[in-house]
Copies of this chain bind each other. A is one copy, B any other.
């Protein structure tokens, strides 16, 4: 039976047709004046979405490449680095910092929780860190951490703040400058609605000063070289030109929809998803006050892997399971980027049908009805 593939994992996400079309444009020489002009105007759009006056560097690589470029360009052996870990992608910062021989302090919190503000404050009061690494939106748990608080602390203490916003930038209201984030990292394949392949980093002047004074071992993933090339709207190595086109088109879509509208759409989808989960008697992993707008994780007294498999096989909805310690225990629905109300409601119908098919007690229509109630109320409020 015809079943359309619907990608609702927490990234890669769905790619709009106009973004796909943009990738078909003829390849420009990346050392040409035309490319430099194109790069320059693209960079202006990125600054608006990042809500920053800092330049955004575009790396040809994944979000992890952008994370490594940031850590590796800043950290020297034995530098004191604080990593705040609330899930799998927080752990990645620990691995990266250790790879670059930092002296790493790890503050780890239960997966599904946000960090403890008071504890972070206490630890930062006791010790001077060169770099603090934190995750804005923890893709593995659907928790959004409070970055504004961290930024204030880092500014007071003179530490650089590096933030992973891979699964939230372009979907959630992230104020890079107002929050004092020195290195703001994201990837192309989440709320930016692109295929995987680009990593982005907004670099503050303070971070750049440290980077330029550093003797980093990063060659390809060098923010120093990237920033230097970017002064002439170039790149140190061959960029993925097609994805640059796609990024430009995606920025146009985001800016044309309007940042406020994009953010409120993501919030509406998240709220609808959470109410559906609750109405179905399942358990949300993140508390309401910590809830991500781009990914919702939940568990319940049910074989989540069987449910996921049915959602995909019978209704075409690919949603994610848990990672590492949450493997086989949770379901994660991505609702980021090129997603609208009908996409989300469709996913809930598939969830309900799959639940019923594994004999979970559900009156069909309960979850999607609760989600629709949120949509209806949300629509009224605007």
- A residues lining the B interface (CB < 8 Å): 1-4, 6, 253, 257, 261-262, 264-265, 314-317, 338-343, 345-346, 349-350, 352-353, 356-357, 363-366, 368-370, 372-373, 375-376, 379
Q: Is the CB of A338 within 8 A of B2?
A: yes
Residues of B within 8 A of A343 (CB): 4
Closest approach, in angstroms, between the C-beta of A50 and any C-beta of chain B?
20
Q: Is the CB of B372 within 8 A of A369?
A: no
Closest approach, in angstroms, between the C-beta of A315 and any C-beta of chain B?
6
Residues of B within 8 A of A368 (CB): 345, 349, 365, 368-369, 372
CA–CA, A370 to B349, complex, Å? 11
Q: Is the CB of A316 within 8 A of B340?
A: yes
Q: Is the CB of A376 within 8 A of B364?
A: yes
CA–CA, A151 to B315, complex, Å? 39
Which of B1, B253, B366, B369 is the one whose CB lies under 8 Å from A261?
B1
Residues of B within 8 A of A370 (CB): 365
- Closest B residue to A369 by beta carbon equals B365
Given contacts A316-B342, A365-B365, contact A265 B372 (CB under 8 A): no
Residues of B within 8 A of A317 (CB): 342
- Closest B residue to A341 by beta carbon equals B315
- A4-B340, A365-B368, A365-B369 given; 16 more Cβ-contact pairs under 8 Å: A2-B253, A315-B341, A316-B340, A342-B350, A345-B345, A345-B349, A346-B349, A349-B368, A353-B372, A353-B376, A357-B376, A357-B379, A363-B369, A364-B372, A364-B376, A368-B368
Residues of B within 8 A of A3 (CB): 340-341
Q: Is the CB of B346 within 8 A of A342?
A: yes
- Closest B residue to A253 by beta carbon equals B2
Closest approach, in angstroms, between the C-beta of A142 and any C-beta of chain B?
21
CA–CA, A381 to B376, complex, Å? 35
CA–CA, A6 to B6, complex, Å? 14
CA–CA, A353 to B363, complex, Å? 19
- Closest B residue to A314 by beta carbon equals B379
CA–CA, A24 to B119, complex, Å? 59
CA–CA, A316 to B344, complex, Å? 13
- Closest B residue to A4 by beta carbon equals B340
Closest approach, in angstroms, between the C-beta of A256 and any C-beta of chain B?
10
Q: Is the CB of A340 within 8 A of B373?
A: no
Residues of B within 8 A of A338 (CB): 2, 4
Q: Is the CB of A2 within 8 A of B376?
A: no
CA–CA, A337 to B264, complex, Å? 34
Q: Is the CB of A369 within 8 A of B376?
A: no
A-B CB contact pairs (8 Å), 11 listed:
A1-B261, A2-B339, A4-B342, A315-B340, A317-B342, A345-B345, A345-B349, A356-B376, A364-B369, A366-B369, A368-B368
- Tell which of A257, A314, A315 has the most Cβ of chain B within 10 Å: A315
CA–CA, A376 to B376, complex, Å? 26
Given contacts A2-B340, A316-B340, A340-B2, contact A365 B357 (CB under 8 A): no
Residues of B within 8 A of A2 (CB): 253, 257, 262, 265, 338-340
Residues of B within 8 A of A364 (CB): 369, 372-373, 376
Residues of B within 8 A of A352 (CB): 372
Residues of B within 8 A of A375 (CB): 353
Closest approach, in angstroms, between the C-beta of A17 and any C-beta of chain B?
8
